[in-house]
Amino acid sequence: MENGKLADGIASAGAALRCGPRPGDIGELIRLHGVLYAKEYGYSPAFESYVAKTFSDYTWPLGDRERLWIVEKEGSILGSIAIVQASPAEAQLRWLLLDPRLRGFGIGKGLVAEAVDFSRACGYEKVFLWTEGSLSAATALYRKAGFILTQQKSGFIWGAARVEECYELRLS
């Protein structure tokens, strides 16, 4: 199931990839989002609260057409990506995150490709995601994978004026 480039990047970084959370993983992913986004983008603690709410919106374990991938190294969670069902025809990509120590190995690109491949195999017609405009590395990954910017909305969120962006990828 895991694509070759993702496997190579994971191996080069000395990391491991697994599917599905173990007890404590969701809390750790929420914490990691809060810490990294505060450090790298100046997000307030309101962002960590938002991420916690998004995780609580789902029943765990996820359904057959949904998946959470977790990247670990030396017992620490250092990244993630997920596909969740928004409707029978639409998947939502969520929680793409990669600790700076694992960047530059192609893992982010591989995670996006893995999520898209999984969505296609599940029969979804479209994958969409919401992100924030200042996350240029992430938006570049999405664009390279074929996602197209379809919506933007401005507002004061997570401690600053920001632009939320929706990207979509048609699978069929």
Residue 153 lies in a domain: no
Query: Is residue 132 in a domain?
Result: no
What domain range includes position 18?
4-125
Place of tokens 């307030």: 44
The residue type at 47 = F
pLDDT, average across residues 7-31: 95
Helical H segments across the chain, by residue range: 4-12, 25-41, 45-56, 107-121, 136-144
19 assigned to some structural domain: yes
% residues pLDDT > 70 (the chain)? 98
Q: Considering the domain boundaries, does residue 157 fall inside one?
A: no
How many domains, the chain?
1
Q: Report the C-alpha gap between 146 and 127 in whole angstroms.
A: 11
Secondary structure class of 31 (helix, strand, coil): helix
CATH of the domain at 66: 3.40.630.30
- pLDDT value at 56 more than 80: yes
**Count of residues for the chain?**
172
Whether residue 2 is predicted with pLDDT greater than 60 in this model: the reply is: no
Whether pLDDT at 1 is above 50: no
Q: Find all residues with CB under 8 Å of 111, minimum gap 6, and list them.
A: 6, 69, 71, 79, 81, 96, 98
Q: What CA–CA distances, in Å, run from 61 to 2, 43, 45, 70, 118?
A: 20, 29, 27, 14, 17
